[in-house]
Amino acid sequence: MAKAGAKLDVSDYTKDLSWRPEPFSGTADVERVLSEFEDGATIVLQGLHLNWQPLAEFCRSLESELDHPAQANAYFTPRSAQGLPVHHDTHDVFSLQVAGEKRWLVYDPAWELPLKQQRYKAETMGEPGDPVLDITLQAGDTLYLPRGWLHEAKTSEADSLHLTVGVNVYTWMDAFKAALDSCAREVGFRRSPDSDPPHELLELLGRELQPERVERRRRRKLVRTRRPVLGGQLTQLRALETLDVDTVVERRPTVLFDFHGTTLSFEGKDVTFPDEAAEDLAFIAQAEEAFTPAELPGDLDDEGRLVLVRRLVREGFLVVSEAARENGADAEA
């Protein structure tokens, strides 16, 4: 929770609950949360994409489109209040107004495209000056704030709920750090510097900064750091009991992956198959529509096709289409 530009101490609105074998610590005390809210504090739900399926799927769809990591927080601010002071974010921000309204004041950046450690401090950098944008968002409105633009937000006579979706853009700083890490295998980079200009080392670094290598590392980092979004996976595992060559399956829409040879890389793991599965695996990786194991074009027999498909369902790469729809219907009910 935050109020008047400062975060409240967690102990102000949480308590520990006795339990065996260990107590639950830091559990929200509902009465104290409500009291702080009535006193002007904003309720902040951080990392909501990590534990709410709709936002997890929404952020993953953004990651698929933008090719950069996305995250989401929710801010529930009482009327006539302000949760955070003037500040900037070090990632791009989309503010999605869900309920109520909120007035946003946006100011020129103090840092251009700031990195995570480059924070705005009014006491050393001065006040932000006149706003360049003064706008009130109503439910359904969206505001885009590029990283570095100073801003503050205030409620009117109505409570406000909005989502902040952050996009963490891969920068040249990230690319250079990754390229330098790749140079660690070159002994010259492990020697102590001398008085001679390191022309040879700069050439090696330059090769590591070629566009295709930069893109490969950026994509690899994105794919490997995505957390699995496995809605309905228990239902999927049960559906394997009746899976046959005519069962309709499809790629799970929340999976970001890379495919090389007979290896699928996704969600922090590499799943490798025998060479004889290469053609079928390529078909699965490239499939935009649902298919059945019987439609796989390679040389695997029916049992081999079922082994391949079952493994990919267990790993969360494929879903049994009918089971996925049934699970979605159950969730809506």
Mean pLDDT of 254-270: 95
For residue range 12-30, list pLDDT tens digits in order: 999 999 999 999 999 999 9
User: What does the pLDDT read at residue 251?
Assistant: 96
In the chain, where the domains are located: 42-167, 172-225, 233-332
Kindly give, in sequence order, each residue whose CB lies less than 8 Å from that of residue 300, ignoring residues fewer than 6 positions away: 276, 277, 280, 308
The reply to whether domains 42-167 and 233-332 share a CATH topology is no
The answer to whether 81 and 152 have CB atoms below 8 angstroms apart is no
pLDDT at 245 over 50: yes
pLDDT at 296 over 90: yes
For residue range 183-209, list pLDDT tens digits in order: 999 999 999 998 888 999 999 999 999
CATH of 42-167, one of 1.10.10.10, 1.20.990.10, 3.40.50.300, 2.60.120.650: 2.60.120.650
> Is the sign of the CA dihedral 168, 169, 170, 174 positive or negative?
negative
At 270, is the secondary structure helix, strand, or coil? strand
User: What does the pLDDT read at residue 276?
Assistant: 95
* CATH topology for the 233-332 domain: Outer Surface Protein A; domain 3 (3.90.930)
